[in-house]
Structure formats: structure tokens, C-alpha cells
Amino acid sequence: MSIRGEAAIVGIGETPTDRLGSKPGEPRKSTAEYLAWAAKLAMEDAGLAKKDFEGQGLAAIYTTSHSQPFWPEEVASILGLKPGVSLAGGNGGASSVSLLGHAAAAIAAGLCDLVLVIAAASPFGERGAHRGAPADTRDYEMPFGVMGPNCKISFVMSRYMHESGMTAEHFGKIAVTARYHASLNPNAYLRKPITIEDYKKSRLISDPIRLFDCVLPANGGKAYIMASAERAKTMRKPPVYLLGWGECNNASYGPRYRSNPLVTGISEAGRRAFAMAGVTHRDIGCLNLYDDYIPIVMLQIEDLGFCEKNDKAFFERTDFTFKGDLPIQTGGGMINCGQPSTTGGMLHVIETVRQLRGEAGQRQVPNVRFGVATGLGAVNYGKNFGCTAAAVLGNER
Amino acid sequence: MADENRAIKKPLPEMTPVNRPFWEGARAGRLVMQKCRDCGSWVFCPRPLCVECHSERLEWVPLSGRGKVFSFTVIREVVGRALRGFAPDIPYVTAWIDLEEGPRFCSNIVGCPIDKVTIGMGVEVVFEDTGEGVVLPKFRPGQAAA
Ligand SMILES: [Zn+2]
């Protein structure tokens, strides 16, 4: 049995994003408040209420600050729900795309008819992000002064530049495109358009990673609701079907002790998602790719098969804007909309739904029928991403 | 601020039954890594099982300490309180080093001006005593690995 077209997204909710608490003593909302707010918005969007979720599915995404073992139960308690199926997204930034498949599988198996997938975090003021770091990081990276993902992705970017010959111009083009889309998205946090020169002038954090390569930490909450295809037909908003899905964790290419960090698990997750959906690259109208860092967006475009590896010329000739050949990051991405810890990736699912519903306003991709969203989580020792997931969504079955 | 940072200790590895030989080796001035007796794979970071064949027959093998820089970064900002002890060292270089025998190891490049570090440059291990009971294997320019 395939989960292709068995379930659809019928509701989305997105709270405003803020950076309250980034200054000492500044009051901010709690994770619980963002959770409740996002859930309410998604239910309103779907035309559903709390009573509709009695005995249904609930999926909660762990955040860096709340990775306690009973997190799904705590979320159920915050929302006053009594789920018949409880799913937990423990794949970091890949969780929201990962859970699309897990929720659809639960629905297709008849375990429930609805799943509320919820993600929220209020990271500012919650200190000690390195507590509970995995052993490889704790023992073989931190003692050498590895500054978290900024530094680890710098290793990847530096090698990528070495092998592909790409320069700041190539990375800057992606950053400028994402910001242009953010300028057309009323929900984006950073909305002032930038130029390649602005990108090149942004300060080096960990060479070659610059400030404008890096995601923006933020507080916020997001949610989506999945329903069976049958039930989705009766909802107020047009269904957005999950047509293809793939997940690949602990991917390694080449010998494990010397893995090629320029290939991500998206190469496998994406291939499976395209195969399940039965679509070709030409069918895809928009890509919303997990963007903790600009070079990672580019590696995923390659790994999804839109071009060869290290294809510098492809990045030069392609128009990535919503009016162009291959629209990417159509809402501005996490880099401009903000990343509430590991829950940030849900932005890409929500933006893809907006595009497929025709609700993207000034940044609407014309005639879009299929879109791809991806998620990534955890940066392994000497590799790249520990968790990866890709989904093909469509506005027809 | 700088003085305050100097007072913050840098994180040190936690000794476990699985990784102890690595750190004891470093204290004795040797770089050692696990190798599987059954399938011949290198296993790093240290593991209780071979990640390729799940054999428990892992032996600790000394390495030459020679390698090449696979990739590197110049760290210019401290991120997070736990790592603030590195503030006085900034800017400094961390790198992925491909060791002659195969495994890739993450460490610092020392004894070399920052603007002279390149991908592909040859390096060799040096042992840096933290004074806290832990010796860290670091790398300086050296004979390029074969
Ligand atoms: Zn083995």
C-alpha cells in the first residue's frame, strides 16, 4: 500500500515571528503560548474545532529547549487534547516534513482521520543550547572550539567552493532571491531587499560563512492539519495532497570514516518522493528547501536532481525567483522568516501549501500544481545532515 | 569581557570505557583509532561496534599522524555560552584533516599563519596539553601525506 494521495493538508497556522528575549530581561511568550496560538490558527483555517480532534492524531515536534521525554504528552496537556494516535517528531529540522509521511501512514492505515502536527519554540532566554550535545560533538568537536552548525557548515561550504569553483557571487544570488521573496511576504521578519554587494559586505562569522548565509533564530509557532483524502474533500479550503514522500537518516556517501559531505540524504529521500508521486522535475512549480544556510539550499537543488553536482553554470543561468525557471524559497525561507529552533522547517510545508492553494499573494508562482518541501536536522561529525526528508505536494490527486 | 571569558573553561571530552584508549593514547603522544579485525574498516568516532559489520572485534591501531587538510574554517565569532572560553583565541582555524591511513579527524591547525592555511596542505600531529588532564591532538604544517 502506498500513502500517495491518501492524506491532504487541510489547515495551516502560523503565528507572527519575533525575537523577543534576545536582549536580557526582555519579556517573551512561552513555547506553550505559541503552540496554542498556532494550533488555534490551523483549526480556524481548516474550519475545525477542538471537539473534532477527540481521539484523533497529534504529532508534536521536539524543540532544542524542550527535548524532554514526555513532550507529546505535554503538548496534549497544553492543548487539552486526548489523542488516539500520538506521534513525535524527533528528527530536528527534518521533523515537519518527516511527519507528513508518518501522519499520512497513520491516516492511510485507518488509525485516525485527522492529525494535528504542531511545532513551536521560544528559544531566547533558554540558555545552554550545548547541554546534551551528542557524544561525538561533545568529545571530538567542542574541545577543538567547533562553534556549532555555523562552523560545521563552513567546512561543507569551503569544500564546496573548492570543488565547484563557486564564489560569493553564487551564494549571494540565492540570498538575494530569498530576500526578494521575503519582501513580498507580509509574514517575513526580514523584508528589506538586499543586493549581491550587501551580501558580500555582510560580516564573516566563520569563513566562508557570512552573516547573510545564516538562518535567523526566532520565537514562533506553526501547525498543519492532515486529513484523509475523503474527509479533505468536505473541508473549507482546497486540499493539498501528499503525493510523494521520502526520508533518509544517517546517510553517508563513500567510506563512513571519510564521507563525502557534499552529498546529503536528500538525494535518496528526494528520489523516493519523486518516484512515489510519479512526477518529473519539469512538473515541479516551486521548491521550498530547508535553509539553515545558503550553501545547503544549493546542495539540495543538486541532490534533488535539478542539476548535476557542482554545476556552477546552472546556478548562473537559472532564474530562481517566483516568476522564473525554478522558483525557490518563495516565501523568503527561514533565513528571512526566522527559525524557532528545530521547528522552523515547518515554514517550508506551509509556504508550499500557500502556493498550491493560490494564497501566496504578490509572490504567487503562476499555474503551480506541484511543489517540493524538504527538511534537514542534526549536523553529524565529519558528514552533513543526520536527518533528511522530502515531500512532493500537489493540489490534485 | 576578555578577562571574564578567560575565566571560562573550555569544554573537555568525557572519558568513557569506549573512548578511553583514544585519550590515553594522546596523553602518551600517540594518535590511535579503532580498526575492525573482521572487515578492516576504520571506526571513528570511537564506537562499541564496527559500524560496517557490527563486529565487536575492534583493535586500537596507531596512526602516522600525517594528513592533508580536506576543508577548514576560520572561526571569528563565539556562539553560545558553553564555548566562550575560546573567545581569547579568535580568530583561529578548525579543519577536517584526512589522515594518511584513511579516517577524517576534526581538529585545529596551529603553528601556521591563518592566511597560509589551504585545502590540500600537508599537516602532522602535535600534542597540546590542556593542563586539565587531557591532551588534544592538533596539527601543524608538515610533510604532505602520500
Ligand atoms: Zn567490521
Return d(Cα B34, Cα A382) in angstroms, integer.
16
pLDDT of A307 strictly over 70: yes
**Cα dihedral A260→A264→A269→A275 (10° resolution):** -70
| pLDDT tens per residue across span A69-112 | 788 888 999 899 999 999 999 899 999 999 999 999 999 999 99
User: β-strand A284-288 against A370-379: which pairing, if any?
Assistant: parallel
| CA A275 centroid distance within chain | 21
Among A90, A91, A123, residue whose Cα is nearest residue A221? A123
**CA nearest A23: which of A190, A292, A219, A201?**
A219
Helix, strand, coil % over all residues of chain A, rounded to 5: 40, 20, 40
B86-92, Cβ contacts within 8 angstroms, sequence gap of 24 or more = B86/A145, B86/A147, B86/B10, B87/B1, B87/B2, B87/B5, B88/B2, B88/B5, B88/B6, B89/A145, B92/A145
A176, pLDDT greater than 60:
yes
Segment A63-67 shows an average pLDDT of: 65
Q: Using CB atoms and an 8 Å cut-off, which of residues 119-138 of chain B contact chain A? A: 119, 130, 134, 136, 138
Find the B56 Cα to ligand 1 centroid distance in Å. 8
pLDDT at B5: 54
Cβ contact A67:A89 at 8 Å: no
Mean pLDDT (whole number) for B23-32: 98
Smallest CA–CA distance, residue B115 to chain A, in Å, is: 11
b (16+ CB within 10 A) / e for A229-254: bebbeebebbbbbbbbbbbbbebbbe
Q: Could you tell me how many CB contacts below 8 A there are between chain A and chain B?
A: 124
Name which of B5, B106, B88 is nearest A143 in CA terms: B106
Report pLDDT digits (tens) over B82-131.
899 999 999 999 999 999 999 999 999 999 999 999 999 999 999 999 99
pLDDT band at B61 (very low <50, low <70, confident <90, very high): very high
Q: How far apart are CA A367 and CA A353, in angstroms?
A: 14
Alpha-carbon distance B112 to A49, whole Å?
64
Nearest Cβ partner for B14 among A139, A141, A147: A139
Q: Which three cell numbers stand for residue B64?
A: 602516522
CA of B40 to the centre of ligand 1 (A): 6
Compute the Cα dihedral for B45, B50, B56, B57 and give only its sign: negative
| Rounded distance from Cα B35 to ligand 1 centre (Å) | 8
Q: Is any Cβ of chain A less than 8 angstroms from the Cβ of B38? A: no
User: Region A282-297: what's the mean pLDDT?
Assistant: 98
- Chain A positions in Cβ-Cβ contact with residue B45 (cut-off 8 Å): 135-136, 139-140, 381
b/e per residue, A340-367, with b = 16+ CB within 10 A? bbbbbbbbbbbbbbbbbbeebeebbbee
pLDDT at B1 over 50: no
B75 to A145: CB separation less than 8 angstroms, yes or no: yes
A128 in B contact zone (CB under 8 Å): yes
Residue A343: the pLDDT is: 81
b/e per residue, A296-307, with b = 16+ CB within 10 A? Answer: bbbbbbbbbebb
Q: Over 90: is that where the pLDDT of B67 sits? A: yes
Residues pairing with A223 in the sheet? A13, A118
Shortest Cα–Cα distance, B103 to chain A (Å): 5
pLDDT category at A66 given cuts 50, 70, 90 is low
